[in-house]
A and B are shown apart, each in its own frame.
Chain A
Amino acid sequence: MQKEAAWLLEQLSGLVAKGVLDEAAAARLRAHYAEAAGGPRLGWGMILLATGGAALVGLGIILIFAHNWENWTPGVRAGLSLLPLLVGQGACALALRRDSRALSEAAALFTAIAIGASIALIAQTYQFGGDLPRFLMTWLLLAAPLVYVLDASAVASGCWLLVLGWVTAHQHSGWWAQEGTWQDALRLPVFLALFCLPLPHLMRHIRLDRGGPRVAWMLRSAAVVFAIGLAFTAGYAQEDALFIIYASAAAAAALAGDRYFSGVHGMWGNPLQLLGRLGAFVVSLSMTMEMGLRNLDWPHSTLMLLPMAFGGAALWLSWRQFQAGDRLVAPLLGALTPLLYLLPPLKGNALAIIVAHLYVLALAGALVRTGLRSSQLALANLGASLLAALALLRFFASDLSYVVRGVGFIVTGVSFFVAMLWLRRRVRGAAP
């Protein structure tokens, strides 16, 4: 039954694309067969108990070892270093035999922590030199298979955190440290390769149960790690290019959240949509400022692949959303990356500022209109907030007196509240 249900769930996206099923029917089938395909969904309590318990036990054992460490000979220390790992592997074997998801998550997380502890303890016993990036990469590569063997999503999130640790540490120490060297050129490809290690696991669970909490948690971890990690992959000379990269990633994430997760989660349960929209909000506002435009530049290194990939994905998703009936927000989000490619040559020209303002006004209007039409108050609020933020920014950037600015803030704030109340009334009136 489990295999058949998993097969059916994997077919749903294709069936929706071909028009055999509509998205609502697919969502109902997902909800119905998710339990059979992957076992019962773990509730918050179970996830916290299993993973938190495993983490605490692992860390407790490490602390006990550390406290008595100097009393043991190097041979005993080396042997004891492997003990947590062996215990974790035993627990993993038990979890696999019992086919228990809660136990699998806990055992895999414990083993993942034990791997790091074992290597660190051996390094301490034998006085290894300090190379944090290499340690983190070794830890990551040894822990990553647990994601697949035990179907462990907590370890997948842990792997992304290790990737983040690696990319932040290698800028400062070890054999990856220096700017302008061959390590610098490899930083982005290696970051992307390491980041992709747990992705097939996430994709599988999106196909099986995109409404489940484990998918939402993994998406949150992946999105946050990617966003922060990306900033560390760019050398100092490439920092200006991050603007276009983040803009294209935000547009692609918002559109992917709309297309693949809309209606499955609420706003907080749809991290791609939430982070993507917030990113597009910040980026579009930034490009209306002279300072934002001054720092805008095209990427010239391997980083240039990212906005091309994300921008291409955003264009394709916006076209699919346009076909599905979103005639306003999706095309504007899709246009964000091409627009940012057009702006750098216009730096210092008033036309760039005018184009940026027109884009923000159009996006804000589209968000409000789509929110009203689809009875999504959050979307309408986002559009109104974008308008209010644009108005406030102009007040900040102007040479007007403090009194005039103060009155302007008050008028904008009151207008915002009035608009909120009006939007709320309209959305409630439009709701069935």
Chain B
Amino acid sequence: MNAARKFLFAAVCLVQLAVPASLIAKHEQTRSAGTPYRFQAAPVDPNDPYRGKYVALRYAVEREPVPFADQGFVYMGYNRRVYAELGTGPDGYARLVKVHDERPAGVDYIDVFTRHLAERAQGDNAAPTAIHVQLPFDRYYLPEDVAPQVEAAYIEAARKAQSNTWAEVRVRDGHGALVGLFLDGKPVQP
């Protein structure tokens, strides 16, 4: 093995290790230093298949359109990455206050993905000023033997009118790390 090949091999190894290591570091930092938010759970479509060993999650904030931060916001279609400014409602659950197309400064925010524009009332011809978004943390991994029971309990708990079911997320520099799932106020241990 010549020197150039040794160097190339070492560089490849470093990059291969750096990618998973950076994922670990980013999530560890967010888990330890991020601001905690509670995202209230919403019922999951019962037709969604339970795939593998995780519970599919949906959130109440995804059902409400989020206002544009400014009128210059241009809708570029589905699945575009935008930035949702975070706040906390009187019930203690997180709210998506505004949606920005660039990273906002001085506030907590998370990366979210665009869905459809807010529906307009009949006869309203004004341009939409809000948009539906999807949060990036959409699954909670669990051991294979307990996942089906937890999913059933999650669906049941999330259907209640006054749902006390939420996902705890730590947020830091736009990155959200899902750190816990609570069903009827009780933590689910992964």
Contacts and interface: CB of A to CB of B under 8 A. Distances in A.
B117 to A, nearest CB: 14
Given A82-B20, A138-B19, A149-B8, A177 B27 contact: no
B113 interface: yes
B138 A129 contact: yes
A82 B76 CA distance: 38
A335 B17 CA distance: 51
Nearest to A143: B16
Interface residues of B, number: 39
Main SS at interface, chain A = helix
B140 interface: yes
Contacts of B143: 69-70
Given A129-B139, A183-B79, A92 B20 contact: no
Interface string B58-93: 000000000000000000111111000000000000
A96 B79 contact: no
B12 A149 contact: yes
B1 A99 contact: yes
A177 B53 CA distance: 23
B16 A142 contact: yes
A86 B14 CA distance: 10
B19 A127 contact: no
B137 interface: yes
Given A82-B17, A127-B178, A181-B77, A93 B190 contact: no
Interface stretch (A40-48, A116-124, A239-247, A355-363): A116-124
B9 A93 contact: yes
Interface residues of A, number: 40
B19 to A, nearest CB: 6
Contacts of A177: 78-79
Contacts of A429: none
A145 B23 CA distance: 20
B81 A96 contact: no
A125 B179 CA distance: 10
A119 B23 contact: yes
A70 B190 contact: yes
B177 interface: yes
A85 interface: yes
B21 interface: yes
Contacts of A149: 5, 8-9, 12
A182 interface: yes
A174 interface: yes
B78 A142 contact: no
Contacts of B21: 82
Contacts of A78: 24, 28
Contacts of B140: 127
A110 interface: no
A34 B82 CA distance: 54
A160 B135 CA distance: 31
A129 B141 contact: no
Given A70-B190, A176-B79, A126 B5 contact: no
A316 B138 CA distance: 52
A348 B189 CA distance: 66
Nearest to A176: B79
B13 interface: yes
Interface of B: 1, 5-6, 8-9, 12-13, 15-17, 19-21, 23-24, 27-28, 31, 53-54, 76-81, 113, 135-141, 143, 177-179, 190
4 closest Cβ pairs, A-B complex: A181-B77, A178-B78, A127-B178, A126-B27
Given A69-B143, A142-B15, A181-B77, 17 more contacts: A81-B20, A86-B17, A96-B9, A115-B16, A119-B20, A122-B23, A122-B24, A124-B141, A127-B139, A129-B137, A129-B138, A130-B139, A149-B8, A149-B12, A175-B79, A175-B113, A178-B79
